[in-house]
A and B are shown apart, each in its own frame.
Chain A
Amino acid sequence: MNIVVCVKNVPDSETRIKILSDGVSIDESMIKFDTNPHDEYALEAAAQLKEKLGGEVTAICLGDDNVTSTIKRCLACGADNAIHLVAQNSRMADSLVVAQALADEIKNISFDIILCGKQVSDTDSHQVGGLIAQILDVPCISMVNEISVSDKNVTASRDVEGAKEILECSLPCVLTAEKGLNKPRYPSLRDIMKAKKKEIKRKEIMLNQGGIEILSMEYPPPRNAGKIVGEGPEAVSELIKLLKEEAKVL
Chain B
Amino acid sequence: MDILVFAEQRDGKLKKTAYEAVSVGCSIADESKGKLTAVIVGANKRNLAKELGKFGASNILVADDERLGKFVPSAYSRVVSSIIKNQNPDVVLFPFSSMGKDLMPSVAARLGVSAASDCTKVEISDGEIICHRPVYSGKAVAKISFSNKPAVISLRPNTFSITEKPVSTNITELEIELSPNDFLTIIKEIVSAESKRPDLTEADIIVAGGRGMGGSEKFSILEELADLLGAAVGASRSAVDAGWRPQKDQVGQTGQTVSPDLYIACGISGAIQHIAGISSAKYIVAINNDTEAPIFKVADYGIVGDLFEVVPAMIGELKNVP
B184 neighbours in A (Cβ, 8 Å): 138-139, 169-170
A118 to chain B: closest residue by CB: B101
**In the complex the two chains form, what is the Cα distance from A94 to B112 in whole Å?**
13
Does A13 reach chain B (CB closer than 8 Å)? yes
A26→B136 contact, CB < 8 A: yes
B141→A219 contact, CB < 8 A: yes
Q: Give the one of A161, A168, A170 with max B CB within 10 A.
A: A161
**Given that A14-B272, A96-B114, A211-B114 are known contacts, is A178 also in contact with B247, CB under 8 Å in the complex?**
yes
- Stretch of A72-80, A194-202, A239-247 at the chain-chain interface: A239-247
Q: Does B116 contact A (CB under 8 A)?
A: yes
- Identify which of B108, B130, B202, B204 gathers the most chain A CB atoms within 10 Å of its CB: B108
B137 at the interface (CB under 8 A from A): yes
* B residues 157-215 in Cβ contact with A at 8 Å: 184-193, 199, 201-202, 204-205
Question: In whole Å, how far is B110's beta carbon from the nearest beta carbon of chain A?
Answer: 6
Question: In the complex, A125→B156 CA distance in Å?
Answer: 12
Question: Complex: how many Å from CA A243 to CA B146?
Answer: 40
Q: Is A99 an interface residue (CB 8 A)?
A: yes
B285 beta carbon closer than 8 Å to chain A: yes
Please state if A250 and B10 are interface contacts (CB–CB under 8 Å).
Answer: no
Task: Compute how far the CA of A139 lies from the CA of B183 in the bound complex, rounded to whole angstroms.
Answer: 9
The answer to whether B222 has its CB under 8 Å from any CB of chain A is no
Q: Which residues of B lie under 8 Å from residue A92 when comparing CB positions?
A: 135, 142
Q: Is the CB of B192 within 8 A of A163?
A: yes
Stretch at the interface among A47-55, A81-89, A107-115, A224-232: A224-232
Cα distance, A117 to B190, chains bound together (Å): 23
Q: Are B147 and A212 in contact, with the CB atoms below 8 A?
A: yes
Is B148 an interface residue when CB atoms closer than 8 A count as contact? yes
From A138, A162, A179, A232, give the contact of B309 (CB < 8 A). A232
Partner of A167, one of B115, B148, B188, B321: B188
User: Which chain A residues (100-146) contact chain B, with CB distance < 8 Å?
Assistant: 118, 121-131, 133-135, 138-143, 145
Q: Is the CB of B141 within 8 A of A217?
A: yes
Residue B124 interfacial (CB < 8 Å): no
Q: Is A237 an interface residue (CB 8 A)?
A: yes
Residues in B neighbouring A232, C-beta threshold 8 A = 303-306, 309-310
Contact string, B278-317, partner A, CB cutoff 8 A, digits 1/0? 0100111100000100001111111111100110111011
Cβ contacts A210-221/B at 8 Å (1 or 0 each):
111111111110
Q: Count contacts on B: residues with CB < 8 A to the other chain.
A: 96
Q: Is the CB of A134 within 8 A of B77?
A: yes
A164 interfacial by beta-carbon distance below 8 Å? yes
**Across the interface, do B262 and A247 meet the contact criterion of CB distance under 8 Å?**
yes
The chain A residue sitting closest to B105, CB to CB, is: A130
On whether the beta carbons of B201 and A220 are closer than 8 Å, the reply is no
Which of B98, B147, B298, B310 makes the CB contact (< 8 A) with A223?
B298
**A38 interfacial by beta-carbon distance below 8 Å:** yes
Q: Mark A36-79, 1 if CB is under 8 A from B, else 0.
A: 01100000000000000000000000000000000000000000
Is A155 engaged at the interface, CB distance under 8 Å to the other chain? yes
A193: Cβ under 8 A from any B Cβ:
no
Q: Is the CB of B301 within 8 A of A239?
A: yes
Are the C-beta atoms of B185 and A169 separated by less than 8 Å? Answer: yes
| Chain B positions within 8 Å of A152 at CB level | none
Find out whether the CB atom of B139 lies under 8 angstroms from the CB atom of A227: no
B113 to chain A, nearest CB (A): 5
Contact A164 B191, beta carbon cutoff 8 Å: yes
- With A139-B184, A169-B185, A220-B139 known as contacts, the answer to whether A95 contacts B247 (CB < 8 A) is no
In the complex formed, the residue of A with least CB distance to B125 is A215
Produce 1/0 per residue, A1-36, CB < 8 A to B.
Answer: 000000000010111110100000010000000000
Q: Are B199 and A161 in contact (CB under 8 A)?
A: yes
Distance of B280 from chain A, by nearest CB (Å): 9
Having A26-B136, A169-B185, one finds 4 other A-B pairs with CB under 8 Å, namely A167-B187, A168-B185, A240-B317, A247-B282
B residues at A contact (CB < 8 Å): 10, 15, 73-74, 77, 96-99, 101-102, 104-106, 108-110, 112-118, 130, 133-148, 184-193, 199, 201-202, 204-205, 229, 240, 246-248, 250, 253-255, 261-262, 272-273, 276, 279, 282-285, 291, 296-306, 309-310, 312-314, 316-318, 321
A-B contact pairs, 19 of them (CB 8 A): A95-B105, A124-B134, A126-B96, A131-B106, A140-B106, A142-B102, A155-B188, A162-B193, A162-B199, A166-B191, A167-B187, A169-B185, A213-B146, A215-B130, A215-B143, A229-B302, A233-B309, A239-B303, A247-B282
